[in-house]
Amino acid sequence: DARVTQTPRHKVTEMGQEVTMRCQPILGHNTVFWYRQTMMQGLELLAYFRNRAPLDDSGMPKDRFSAEMPDATLATLKIQPSEPRDSAVYFCASGLVLGRDSYEQYFGPGTRLTVT
């Protein structure tokens, strides 16, 4: 039963510190998404990649957030410097897109970030 994995599962840090979250997509999936979930905003898309190339990061605060896919098995989301308003659960999801066909998208377990 292939699953998306994320590390760490929980992170508590002080304001101003750098935070790096990691995601391993399901093997064979070519599209990776980063979402942020808060009570107030629901599920927000931050960025997504296809075949490791960034396609859309318009939902991401550019001054402090960055997302990369150094290889097909690893996606990273970095916040530098972190702020208390960044406290949320960050989900990674992966899916498969082939030509005009898009398939199901599966979520990882999330990273619960608390910035004090």
Partner 1 sequence: GENVEQHPSTLSVQEGDSAVIKCTYSDSASNYFPWYKQELGKRPQLIIDIRSNVGEKKDQRIAVTLNKTAKHFSLHITETQPEDSAVYFCAARGDTGRRALTFGSGTRLQVQP
**Binding positions for partner 1, rule: CB under 8 A:** 31, 33, 42-43, 45, 48, 50, 55-56, 91, 97, 100, 102, 104-110
CB 33 within 8 A of CB 47: yes
Q: Is 60 exposed, middle or buried (0-12, 13-18, 19+ CB in 10 A)?
A: buried
Residues near 105 by beta carbon (within 8 Å), at least 6 away in sequence: 31, 33, 93, 94, 95
Dist. CA 15–CA 54, nearest whole Å = 27
Whole-number minimum distance, CB 3 to partner 1, in Å? 9
Is the CB of 80 or the CB of 114 nearer to partner 1?
114
Is the CB of 17 or the CB of 114 nearer to partner 1?
114
Is the CB of 81 or the CB of 107 nearer to partner 1?
107
Whole-number minimum distance, CB 93 to partner 1, in Å? 8
Whole-number minimum distance, CB 81 to partner 1, in Å? 27
Is the CB of 81 or the CB of 106 nearer to partner 1?
106
